Structure 1
Amino acid sequence: MRLFLDCEFTRLSATAKLISLALVAENGREFYVELLDTWRVEDCSDFVKKIVLPQLWGGSYALPIVEARMSLLRFLTSFKKEVEIVTDAPQYDWELFCDLVYDGGRWPRIVRNFPTDATTLTPTSEGEELPHHALLDARIIAGMFAQ
Structure 2
Amino acid sequence: MILFLDTEFTGLDQAKPDLISIALVDEAGREFYAELPPSHYAVQCNEWVHFNVLPHLWGGDHVLSVEDTRDRITAWIAGIQDRAVIVTDCPDADFQLLRWLLPEWPGNLTPTPILFTAWSIGDDEQPKLHARMASYHTPERPAHHALHDANSLRVGVLYAIENGWTLWRD
Q: TM-score by structure 1 length?
A: 0.90
Deviation at 1:49, TM superposition (A): 0.6
Percentage of pairs with the same residue:
37
Q: How does 1:56-71 map to 2 (within 5 A)?
A: 56-71=57-72
Residue 145 of structure 1 aligns to a residue in which SS? Answer: helix
Deviations 1:16-68 (A, max 9, x none): 00000001110110100001267332200001011101111011110000000
Given that 2:19 and 2:41 are in contact with CA atoms closer than 8 Å, whether structure 1 keeps it comes out as no
Given that 1:8 and 1:132 are in contact with CA atoms closer than 8 Å, whether structure 2 keeps it comes out as yes
Taking only aligned residues, the RMSD between alpha carbons, in angstroms, comes to: 1.9
2:105 corresponds in structure 1 to: 107
Runs of 4+ aligned residues of structure 1 deviating over 6 Å after TM superposition are none
Bigger radius of gyration, 1 or 2?
2
Q: 1:28 & 1:64 partners in 2: Cα distance?
A: 25
1:7 corresponds in structure 2 to: 7
1:145 corresponds in structure 2 to: 157
Given that 1:3 and 1:24 are in contact with CA atoms closer than 8 Å, whether structure 2 keeps it comes out as yes
Q: 2:22 & 2:39 partners in 1: Cα distance?
A: 12
Q: How does 1:1-147 map to 2 (within 5 A)?
A: 1-12=1-12, 13-36=14-37, 39-102=40-103, 106-119=104-117, 121-122=120-121, 125=129, 126-128=132-134, 131-146=143-158, 147=162
Q: Which has the higher strand share?
A: 1
In structure 2, list runs of 5 or more residues that go unmatched: 163-170
Q: 2:39 & 2:3 partners in 1: Cα distance?
A: 23
Aligned residue-pair number: 144
Q: TM-score by structure 2 length?
A: 0.79
In structure 1, list runs of 5 or more residues that go unmatched: none
Residue 127 of structure 1 aligns to a residue in which SS? Answer: helix
